[in-house]
Amino acid sequence: GENVEQHPSTLSVQEGDSAVIKCTYSDSASNYFPWYKQELGKRPQLIIDIRSNVGEKKDQRIAVTLNKTAKHFSLHITETQPEDSAVYFCAAFGGYQKVTFGIGTKLQVIP
């Protein structure tokens, strides 16, 4: 089955700096990679996703890059703001139609 590794597990940045979270996956058949944001006590919500036929996708301050050869994808948040503080999960939709999540990265943006 699919194995998704995510790091770092915690990340603290100063407001205005950039944050990068990285994930690797094992199933070469995986073809869809979403990122979810989960605020404390709330539901995970999709913030950006990328499909295997694309190398990069941007949405305002958020971008995701995918390297299929190396089997890794990354979330980039620029000009971080306090409201970006949350837990971020990467996920991979694998060849067995199974969604596997990473363990999460707790991002703290320090004002």
Helix or strand or coil: residue 67? Answer: strand
Residue 66 and residue 79: Cα distance in Å, rounded?
21
Which one of the spans 12-20, 67-75, 77-85, 102-110 is the region binding other proteins (CB under 8 A)?
102-110
Residue 43 C-beta: closest distance to other proteins, Å: 4
Check if the beta carbon of residue 11 is closer than 8 Å to that of residue 21.
Answer: yes
Tokens for 7, please give them.
């790091």
Q: Which of 102, 105, 80 is nearest to 30 (CA)?
A: 102
Q: Is 94 in the site for other proteins (CB under 8 A)?
A: yes
* Options 25, 86, 104, 109; binder of other proteins; rule CB under 8 A: 104
* Options 3, 39, 42, 54; binder of other proteins; rule CB under 8 A: 42
Residue closer to other proteins, measured from CB, 32 or 56: 32
